[in-house]
Amino acid sequence: MQSIEEKNLHDSVVKRTCYWTDGIYLSVHILYLILFIIANSTFMIVMNIVSILVYVLFYFLIRKGKYYIYALSCGAEILIFMSISTVLFGFQAGFHLNIIGLCVVSFFTTYFNKRTGSLKKALAWSIMSVLVYLGLHFYCSFNNPIYTIDKWLVVSLYAFHGICAFGFVVSYLLIFLLYAMDLEEKIKNESRTDKLTQISNRYDLYNYLDSIENKADYALAIFDIDDFKKVNDTYGHVFGDYVLKTIAKIAFDNPNHSFVARYGGEEFVVIIKMYSDEQRTFEIIDSIRKTIEDYQFGFEGIETHVTISCGIARYQENINIDKWLSLADSKLYECKHSGKNKTLMH
């Protein structure tokens, strides 16, 4: 299921692309209009005035969020306009080159309109564009252009259309690439974040621990909410979730921590830099326990206190991450079996 953030990003990209596209196509037809006024081509002047009005109307389609209808209408306008222009002025004017870009646009449109778009429609549109392109090629191979225009205009139009065709392909691929990279980054962040507490999860914890070059400078603490099952059974899981989120925030807001993660269930891991005075390191982590002990948990008319038990382990030479965690966990286990609501250091 698409997240709200992903949907907002998706809609933002589609809307911006449609506005951007409409503005460019409108500008192109205004430029065409100027060129054909200079060339005194009455038919093309009329065609471009019609196209300009069409793209102004398309603006209102975009405002109403009719993106797929806009894309289809826009594609049809380009296909019709470029086909007629190619018949009138021949291949040498390069109008046909813009049809190539429609293939890219069709797949782009399909991806960003998953409800109404489909791969079959994109393929059908691309095949139709290719057939139109080939049909124009064969027609122009056996028929002279209906209108003859000055050489400077022919060369200018071909160069302009070549730029447009490449612009079509590069621009849409660039937009798709930027969207994919942004979405990939968001997915990456989500995969490393605990959904409930919005702090790092176990996966991100291991990445962080792997990234520490001198682990001997750090202490690792695992703490667990005392009798959390009883909290859930007594006050319900909604209240339990509130407790987990609140404790995560208390631990995260501690100014001395280097890293906080939800290890799983009601267990959390805190990493801090070791002080030269070990007692100071102990006191900083124990201060989290004391803050939670004194905190009044209140939610939807329910008020209570909860406590945690915490085990701390200094890094030891030639141990791996799992062993380091195990050392802290052994001290946590000791806390649990010697009265709870306490902190012990290995």
Average pLDDT over residues 80-90: 90
pLDDT at 105: 73
Helices (H), the chain: 4-38, 42-63, 67-89, 97-112, 119-142, 151-191, 202-211, 228-235, 237-253, 278-294, 321-336
- pLDDT of 1 > 50? The answer is no
Residues annotated catalytic, as ranges: 266
User: Higher-confidence residue: 57 or 173?
Assistant: 57
Residue 30 banded pLDDT, cuts 50, 70, 90: very high
pLDDT of residue 118: 66
Residue 334 confidence (pLDDT): 94
User: What homologous superfamily does CATH list for 202-345?
Assistant: Reverse transcriptase/Diguanylate cyclase domain (3.30.70.270)
Q: What is the mean pLDDT of residues 98-120?
A: 70
Question: What residue ranges do the domains of the chain occupy?
Answer: 4-191, 202-345
d(CA 276, CA 282): 11
Q: What is the pLDDT of residue 318?
A: 84
- Reported pTM: 0.60
The pLDDT-based confidence of 115 (bands split at 50, 70, 90) is: low
Confidence class of residue 21 from pLDDT cuts 50, 70 and 90? confident
- How far apart CA 196 and CA 224 sit, in angstroms, is 16
Selection from 343, 331, 244 nearest residue 252 by Cα? 244
Confidence of residue 177 (pLDDT cuts 50, 70, 90): confident
When mean pLDDT is compared across 9-13, 119-123, 140-144, the lowest value belongs to 9-13
147-168 pLDDT, tens digit per residue, is 888 888 888 889 988 888 888 7
Output 257 or 116, whichever has higher pLDDT: 257
Q: Which amino acid would we find at residue 164?
A: C
Average pLDDT of the segment spanning 78-86:
90
pLDDT at 253 over 80: yes
Contact 230, 340 (CB under 8 A): no
Who has greater pLDDT, 103 or 137? Answer: 137
Those residues with Cβ within 8 angstroms of residue 254's Cβ, 6 or more apart along the chain or in another chain: 260, 270, 284, 287, 288, 291
Backbone angles phi, psi at 116, to 5 degrees: -110, -20
Q: How far is CA 337 from CA 27, 126, 341, in A?
A: 76, 70, 11
pLDDT value at position 297?
95
The stretch 247-272 carries a mean pLDDT of 92
- The reported pLDDT for the residue numbered 251 is 93
According to the model, what pLDDT value does residue 117 have?
A: 52
Flag the least confident range among 115-119, 215-219, 292-296, 320-324.
115-119
